[in-house]
Structure 1
Amino acid sequence: MEPVQFYKCLADETRLKSLLLIEKEQELCVCELMAALEESQPKISRHLAQLRKCGLLTDKRQGQWVFYSINSELPEWAKTVLSSTTENNPEFLANDLARLNEMGDRPARVSACCP
């Protein structure tokens, strides 16, 4: 991954927040990101597709639902940037994480929005 491509992919607030939330939670689906970011399904899906195209995310299907996670094949420097950004900017994600946590714990949350 080239640094310029990596940073261009992060240059949108929705993409950056989605990526950092996924980094923090390990895996999220579209409905979880919709609730956390208070955005529409088409907008979230469009940004996730861009992150996947950039090689930052991978996805897995479970029935009709798609779950996204950080691409394990990212170079170490890119993983370090993501984890450091998440860790050192808690206020950037605070409201989004609060909305995500309002959905309940992960197993219950997933079964409620991704049956």
Structure 2
Amino acid sequence: MSVDTDRLISFFILWGTPAVFSIVEYFKLSKTEKNKAIRDLISLKSIVTTGFILTGGVIASLGRLLSLLPLQVIGTFILAMGGIVGAIEAWKVKRKNSIVILVLIVSMIALTFII
């Protein structure tokens, strides 16, 4: 288990930057907006789609960073599950969006194993 410096920097840029921006924006919200944001984030739909995609992406990236193939495969599986559920949810609203989601998830999975 070795950590490559380039992968470490990429990991922190890829996951740290959006996390910091999200936290900063959260603190700018009013109390009612914060409550609504929390309620939206803990909804089942949000957890199964966005939550699985983000969790799977982080785990897969962490597996790549630490050179642990099982961790990378588990993260990719969770990422794929979230992408499939997200595409199904988008299919109900607009079919074109579901295809875009599937293409993005496949690209993200491919990049997880390449980068």
Q: Tell me if TM exceeds 0.5.
A: no
Higher share in helix = 2
Q: Give TM-score scaled by structure 2 length.
A: 0.30
Greater strand fraction, Structure 1 or Structure 2: 1
Q: Which structure is higher in RCO with an 8 Å CA cutoff and minimum separation 6?
A: 1
Normalised TM-score (structure 1)? 0.30
